[in-house]
Amino acid sequence: MDAIELKNLQTPLKEKYKTNPESALITLKAQGNIGEGISCKVETGKSIVEAGLHPATGGTGLQACSGDLLLESLVACAGVTMNAVATALGIEIKNAVVKAEGDLDFRGTLGVSKEVAVGFKNIRLSFTFDTSATAEQIESLTKLTERYCVVYQTLRNGVAIETKYN
């Protein structure tokens, strides 16, 4: 896909959202079913992923860890966003690798220490790419990728979560 094709795809959507803002509000959904042992089967739209405990909390390592899935979502979103931004700006990227790493202290998760927070202490996102883009283009690419990546912005800014138990 090139910049013209991308613009042709997105321009009607942008116009629709400008004239009818409520049409831009879409609810994404995820669903999972508690599985055997300590697991949860999540429907991804393309397949079913079985998530379980991380080995640091007693898991076997044979099931996906939800922390890994979070980082994988960040990588996927950031990679797609960077690719779309590069396409829109006419920046050719010959090859790119997106990586995310996050540090967890499992003492919090296992309740070993109430002083240790549950969750990632920090996350590092990195891009390695082969391009002939100028430093200025790369700066724009970086800024716009961070600005428009849904998962990045959600993690960075936080979001209210409402929980219900029925």
What is the tens place of the pLDDT at every residue in 36-51? 777 888 888 788 889 9
d(CA 64, CA 120) in angstroms, rounded, equals 17
Question: Tens digits of per-residue pLDDT, 64-107?
Answer: 999 999 999 999 999 999 999 999 999 999 989 999 999 999 99
Sketch out the chain's domains with CATH numbers: 3-157 (3.30.300.20)
Q: What pLDDT sits at residue 40?
A: 86
Helix boundaries (H) for the chain: 3-19, 66-89, 106-109, 135-148, 150-157
Give the residue from 130, 104, 141, 138 showing the smallest Cα distance to 119.
104
